[in-house]
Amino acid sequence: MSEKVTEDKPKQSNSSCKNQNFIDWDEYFMAIAFLAAKRSKDPCTQVGACIINEDKKIVGVGYNGMPIGCNDDEFPWSKNQESELDNKYLYVCHAELNAILNKNSSDLKNCKLYVGLFPCNECAKCIIQSGIKEVVYLSDKHAHKNGTIASKRMLSAANVKYSQLNPKNKKIVIDFNEIDWDSMYQPALSPAPKNVS
């Protein structure tokens, strides 16, 4: 199975009547990162990450969650408890780390990572060591924090490019009913079969 990697700009309408309402590659991979984030049990911040190779094939997806075997009903999700041991930070695996560890290819050399939030310094180290060469992120809300500043220093030193995505589509809705729309709302286009007993 291999789909053709095509130019991702929606073209002007032409006689082929193809759907003009498709999302571009960046939006597609970022949306997959966001969909993965929906699996996160973190009540405050759900982060997802999606890694693609040079052929635009997805080679890893992950979200922030407790390590395997660490029950996410038992480990804490708080962030403001007095004891550090009662807060999530010492335990939770970050989305980028999970996406890297979930890889389904032999290595991640020259891959590109899409992530909702700019990677922290610990994730930056994993990104660099894995061979990923580019990071595309959406939010840089922790830009002022030392962790983010250190992360950017390391990524730049290691020649890992990073850029903020400004998606054309600010919202992408997934509606499971859509698959039946042609028959439900356009009966004239798909008339009921004749002579069906």
Ligand X SMILES: O=c1ccn([C@H]2C[C@H](O)[C@@H](COP(=O)(O)O)O2)c(=O)[nH]1
Residue 136 binds ligand X (CB under 6 A)? no
**Cα–Cα distance, 177 to 48 (Å, whole number):** 25
CB of 108 to ligand X, least distance (A): 17
Q: Which of 47, 61, 132, 160 binds ligand X (CB under 6 A)?
A: 47
Q: Choose the contact partner of 44 out of Zn ion, ligand X, none; CB within 5 to 8 A by kind.
A: ligand X
- Minimum distance from CB of 138 to ligand X (Å)? 12
Closest to Zn ion by CB, 36 vs 120, is: 120
**Which residue's CB is nearer to ligand X, number 18 or number 38?**
38
- Are 99 and 62 in contact by the 8 Å Cβ rule? The answer is yes
* CB distance 76 to 88 below 8 Å: yes
Question: In this chain, which of 33, 36, 50, 92 binds ligand X, going by CB under 6 A?
Answer: 92
Any residues with CB less than 8 A from the CB of 183 and at least 6 apart, and which?
190
Interface with ligand X includes 42 (CB under 6 A)? yes
Pick the binder of ligand X from 61, 99, 111, 123 (CB under 6 A). 123
Tell me if 59 sits within 8 A of 108, measured CB to CB.
yes
Contact segment (CB under 6 A) with ligand X among 3-11, 90-98, 129-137, 178-186 equals: 90-98
Catalytic residue chosen out of the listed positions 7, 74, 84, 96: 96
Residue 88: CB minimum distance to ligand X, A: 6
Binding mask 149-168 for ligand X (x = CB under 6 A): --------------------
Q: Which residues participate in catalysis according to the annotation? A: 96
